[in-house]
Amino acid sequence: MKTNGLVKTFAVLPLLALLLTACSESGGQQAMMQQTPEVGVYEVKNQSLVLTTDLPGRTVPYRIAEVRPQVNGIIQERMFTEGSLVKEGEQLYQIDPAIYEAADQRALANLNSARQLAQRYQKLVKSNAISKQQYDDAYAAWKQMEAERALSQINLEYTKVLSPISGKIGRSFVTEGALVGNGQPQQLATIQQLDPIYVDLTQSMTEVLRLRKDLASGQLKKNGEDQVKVSLKLEDGSIYPIQGTLKFSEVSVDTGTASVTLRAEFANPDQVLLPGMFVHARLNEGVRNDAVLVPQQAVARNVKGEPMVWVVAEDGKVSTRTIVTERTVGNQWLVNEGLKAGDKVVAEGLQRLRPGIEVKTAPAGNLDLKTDLSKVEPAAVSNNVKEGDTNV
């Protein structure tokens, strides 16, 4: 019986060996598959990129005029509708003209008397009936009366308060029966020209210096007339349909905010832009011909807080590389240093990576690259962020 047991035991051993060998081979294949993960990569390339800057700003009237009286008197009539458009030279108020009409009639009578006396003396001086001095005095009085008459006519004309500019007039600060006077601090009304309209923008001096440095070094090229084109986003998120033009920048820096003011001009035919509105403006800075962009989901941070990416070498092994980023462009990073055209950056499967391991590469399938998120639907932007874009 013992001999039979030994025979059975030796008969089972080859079968166990085969099973162990099969398990070992299967485990080796699984380990090999685990050691060669597949990742999605993005191949870096140089591209021409128009760089833009988003700046906050407020709308300012193109022209503004405070209507004030130039003579004293009682307001007889208001001749405009509040909030309406008025034209230059249109009458806005009528001041009681009675005393100015009387003054004009008196000035006219004095003028006629002085003229007749001067003309009579002119004949007499020729016959030496009067002295030359008497004639000169009469002639001077005549010219003085002409000036007095002209002044009385001007004051009479000033009883009609006219619009100094064309634009939209606001509320009236006086009513019929109010006493007004020349030099009073309170304006009668305010007129603002809104077409065209200005937008005053603020830009930090740091950004101004960076822009000048990039232009001087040739890293950034001027884009002709497009350099001064400006587009607007309104408070409700809508885009203003008409592009504006950058007119000038302040020559001094605000000591409180360390910023300069830029002024842009926009056509405003439908009066969509009103004074005091808060807007966001986008300025075209210039063109970078060799820009390097990488997806935001491919960029992480090392222990020092520096931006880094995983790069696949020609032998299929991965390593980390520290980069220098300048800004975000849509859902991508603009890279100044650390990457060049042809580098393969891992954008999918980052959690499987360790320095020095070999990987299988395929084009990343989680990329939806945009350089202008203002043209993307809100739902699409939300989906991009959900996929792990923590750097937006």
* Dihedral sign (CA 73, 76, 81, 87): negative
For 215-224, 314-323, 364-373, which range has the lowest pLDDT when averaged over its residues? 215-224
Residues 6+ apart with CB under 8 A from 116: none
Q: Taking Cα atoms as reference points, which of 127, 118, 260 lies closest to residue 200? A: 260
Q: Where in the chain is the domain with CATH 2.40.50.100?
A: 69-95+161-186
The answer to whether residue 115 scores a pLDDT higher than 60 is yes
When comparing pLDDT for 19 and 318, which is higher? 318
Separation of alpha carbons 73 and 99, rounded Å: 9
Spell out the SS3 assignment of the chain: CHHHHHHHHHHHHHHHHHHHHHHHHHHHHHHHHHHCCEEEEEECCEEEEEEEEEEEEEEEEEEEEEECCCCCEEEEEECCCCCCEECCCCEEEEECCHHHHHHHHHHHHHHHHHHHHHHHHHHHHHCCCCCHHHHHHHHHHHHHHHHHHHHHHHHHHHCEEECCCCEEECCCCCCCCCEECCCCCCCCEEEEEEEEEEEEEEEEHHHHHHHHHHHHHCCCECCHHHHHEEEEECCCCCECCCCEEEEEECCCCECCCCEEEEEEEECCCCCCCCCCCEEEEEEEEEEEEEEEEEEHHHCEECCCCCEEEEEECCCCEEEEEECEEEEEECCEEEEEECCCCCCEEEEECHHHCCCCCECEEEECCCCCCCCCHHHCCHHHHHHHHHCCCCCC
Q: Where in the chain is the domain with CATH 1.10.287.470?
A: 97-158
Separation of alpha carbons 247 and 259, rounded Å: 17
Mean pLDDT over 48-69 rounds to: 89
Cβ(53)–Cβ(283) under 8 Å? Answer: yes
Mean pLDDT over 243-257 rounds to: 80
- Token look-up 């080796």 returns 28
Q: Where in the chain is the domain with CATH 2.40.30.170?
A: 53-61+193-288
Token code pair at residue 166: 């064309």
The answer to whether residue 55 scores a pLDDT higher than 70 is yes
pLDDT at 248: 73
Mean pLDDT over 297-304 rounds to: 89
With cut-offs at 50, 70 and 90, classify the pLDDT of residue 165.
Answer: very high
For the chain, give the percent of residues with pLDDT over 70.
82
pLDDT at 8: 47
Q: What's the whole-number average pLDDT of the chain?
A: 82
Q: Where in the chain is the domain with CATH 2.40.420.20?
A: 38-49+290-386
Q: Taking Cα atoms as reference points, which of 372, 51, 50, 54 lies closest to residue 202? A: 54
Residues 6+ apart with CB under 8 A from 336: 292, 324, 325, 326
Choices 2.40.30.170, 3.40.50.150, 2.40.50.100, 3.30.1380.20: CATH for 69-95+161-186: 2.40.50.100
For the chain, give the percent of residues with pLDDT over 90.
41
With cut-offs at 50, 70 and 90, classify the pLDDT of residue 355.
Answer: confident
Domain 53-61+193-288 has CATH 2.40.30.170: yes
With cut-offs at 50, 70 and 90, classify the pLDDT of residue 34.
Answer: low
Stated pTM of the model: 0.65
pLDDT at 379: 38
Token code pair at residue 243: 């592009």
CATH dotted code for 97-158: 1.10.287.470
Strands 360-363 and 38-43 turn out to be: parallel
Mean pLDDT over 85-112 rounds to: 95
Separation of alpha carbons 102 and 104, rounded Å: 5
With cut-offs at 50, 70 and 90, classify the pLDDT of residue 378.
Answer: very low
Choices 2.40.420.20, 2.60.40.150, 3.40.449.10, 3.20.20.450: CATH for 38-49+290-386: 2.40.420.20
With cut-offs at 50, 70 and 90, classify the pLDDT of residue 15.
Answer: low
The answer to whether residue 391 scores a pLDDT higher than 50 is no
Torsion of CA 316, 320, 325, 330, to 10 degrees: 50
How buried is residue 138: exposed, middle or buried, by Cβ count under 10 Å (0-12/13-18/19+)? Answer: buried
Mean pLDDT over 240-254 rounds to: 82
The answer to whether residue 205 scores a pLDDT higher than 90 is no
